[in-house]
Amino acid sequence: MASEEAAVTMVNYYTTVTPHLRNQPIYIQYSNHRELKTDNLPNQARAQAALQAVNAIHTGNMAMSGTGVEGALLAGQSPVLRIIVENLFYPVTLEVLHQIFTKYGTVLKIITFTKNNQFQALLQYADPMHAHHAKLALDGQNIYNACCTLRIEFSKLTALNVKYNNDKSRDFTRLDLPSGDGQPPMDTSMAAAFGLSVQAVPGGLGHLGIPHGAVAGRLAMAGMGPCTANTVLLVSNLNPEKVSPHWLFILFGVYGDVHRVKILFNKKENALVQMADSNQAQLAMSHLNGQKAYGRVIRVTLSKHQIVQLPREGHEDQGLTKDYSTSPLHRFKKPGSKNFQNIFPPSSTLHLSNIPPSITDDDLKNLFGSIGATVKAFKFFLKDRKMALIQLASLEEAIHALIDLHNHDLGENHHLRVSFSKSTI
């Protein structure tokens, strides 16, 4: 560094914020050497060019003049990045992307869309160099632990045309744009929350605060998952005549491993569901809030409780609290389970698996009919008759069928596996 003061500042900063390069933590401490001797080292010209490029970036000279080694390489490069989010097990919003990418320069515009069943975005920086450094730093990184992986490439577009400011697209230089659905332009206080001119401290990815209205989160690159560590969900507006720990365990178990369920004694339309981790809790909440079960539209929010307490020994709670932490029915107990890749929102089409060879399509149609479901369509997988798709008359019927028939004994030591499907018949 240029001075001891600069070195002290750097070490102090990175003592509290661990920088990461390609998912690897970098640790910085003082050296025993007072200075570096580089006069006769091989590749000295390349090293000097790299130093000049770094210093130019730091002072802003490169951005202003386009000179230097890297400046020459970036000539004609687009300031627009194309971003694909893989393993989307947790909602990623436009605001989350803005907060992440603002760390590397001024973000002018973002457009999000879904293509080929993948969440994608186009993001325009004020300068191609910012796009270049964001790509180098973020390509291949996870937004949250073990999921939401960023794949980044340069777009062929040189500028984005944004017509609306809403949850799908945003022009941060035009606060007067309509939302596209008759709503007024974005509130100026909301625009201020995005801080167009705010530049993040150079260096490692520290704890990022997500702007108002977005999912609060911290990057996995900072060694964190979602900033809320709460694993307990409050489920309300349940049908008190139908509610049971078992059906909550089965339904919420589609989106994570349920450890405990508690129906509130004096308010049986309310329950607490404890998931294995906060990612699974957020996933279950995002998919199940607002779904209809047993005639009621259920509400799912994060609870203020950090854990579901079991009844004290000798105290009977009429079976309203159940511990499922050791249940064999957990779908995600194996690390890296393929089940994580097949998580979909509730749908009227169900995916069936673990079907024994002797079971016919009529057997399965009759099984679903026996619980009151109306079967609209059915088909076995062509290459694997152990699996099938069944389409029911409504989404609510499908939810009830999954609750009633997941793990149903089909004989021959086969228990039916039921999950929601993204396919249609």
Pick the more confident residue, 278 or 241.
Answer: 241
Question: In the predicted model, is pLDDT for residue 316 greater than 50?
Answer: yes
Q: What is the pLDDT of residues 181-196, one digit of tens each?
A: 544 444 433 333 333 3
Residue 344: what residue type? F
293 Cβ contact partners less than 8 Å away, ≥ 6 residues apart: 238, 239, 242, 247, 251, 396, 399, 400, 403
Write down the pTM of the prediction. Answer: 0.51
What is the CATH number assigned to the segment(s) 344-420? 3.30.70.330
Predicted confidence band of residue 17 (pLDDT cuts 50, 70, 90): confident
Question: In the predicted model, is pLDDT for residue 420 greater than 80?
Answer: yes
Question: In the predicted model, is pLDDT for residue 58 greater than 60?
Answer: no
Question: In the predicted model, is pLDDT for residue 298 greater than 80?
Answer: yes
**pLDDT for position 397:** 96
**pLDDT for position 311:** 85
Mean pLDDT value across residues 396-402: 97
Residue 158 gets which letter from DSSP?
S
Burial of 401 (C-beta count, 10 Å sphere; 0-12/13-18/19+): buried
Count of beta carbons in the 10 Å neighbourhood of residue 352: 26
DSSP letters spanning 236-271? ES--TTT--HHHHHHHHTTSS-EEEEEE-SS-TT-E
Pick the more confident residue, 405 or 71.
Answer: 405
Q: Which of 109-123, 214-228, 320-334 has the lowest mean pLDDT?
A: 214-228
Return the percentage of the chain with pLDDT > 70, whole number: 77
Query: What value, to the nearest 5°, has the Cα angle with vertex 255 and ends 249 and 256?
Result: 70
Pick the more confident residue, 335 or 175.
Answer: 175
Q: How far is CA 364 from CA 232, 346, 384, 398, 424, in A?
A: 35, 20, 16, 14, 18
Fold matches, 80-171 and 232-310+317-323: yes
**pLDDT for position 224:** 36
Gap between the Cα atoms of 409 and 405, Å rounded: 9
Question: In the predicted model, is pLDDT for residue 59 greater than 60?
Answer: no
Q: How far is CA 163 from CA 77, 182, 188, in A?
A: 24, 13, 18
Residue 197 gets which letter from DSSP?
T
What is the CATH number assigned to the segment(s) 232-310+317-323? 3.30.70.330
* Contact present, 295 and 237 (Cβ < 8 Å): no
Domain 80-171 has CATH 3.30.70.330: yes
Closest CA to 332 of 288, 276, 272: 276
Domain boundaries, the chain: 1-30, 80-171, 232-310+317-323, 344-420
Predicted confidence band of residue 30 (pLDDT cuts 50, 70, 90): confident
* Mean pLDDT over the full length of the chain: 80
Count of beta carbons in the 10 Å neighbourhood of residue 384: 10
CA atoms within 13 A on the CB side of 412: 9
Closest CA to 71 of 85, 61, 58, 59: 61
Q: Which of 15-29, 310-324, 353-367, 372-386 has the lowest mean pLDDT?
A: 15-29
**pLDDT for position 331:** 92
Q: Can you state the angle between helices 395-405 and 245-252, rounded to 10 degrees?
A: 110
Which residue matches tokens 């957020």? 282
For 386: left if phi > 0, alpha if psi spans -120 to 50, otherwise beta; the answer is: alpha
Closest CA to 68 of 81, 79, 54: 54
DSSP letters spanning 351-392? EEE---TT--HHHHHHHHHHTT--EEEEEE-SS-TT-EEEEE
**pLDDT for position 358:** 93
* Contact present, 321 and 261 (Cβ < 8 Å): yes
Predicted confidence band of residue 46 (pLDDT cuts 50, 70, 90): low
What size, in residues, is the chain?
425
Mean pLDDT value across residues 7-33: 78
**pLDDT for position 154:** 95
Q: What is the pLDDT of residues 318-355, one digit of tens each?
A: 789 999 999 999 998 876 667 777 888 899 999 999 99
| Max mean pLDDT range (200-209, 365-374, 381-390) | 365-374
**Helix (H) or strand (E) segment spanning residue 220:** none
**pLDDT for position 152:** 96
Pick the more confident residue, 245 or 28.
Answer: 245
Closest CA to 354 of 287, 281, 416: 416
Tokens of 291: 């779904």
- In angstroms, the first-to-last Cα distance of the chain is 64
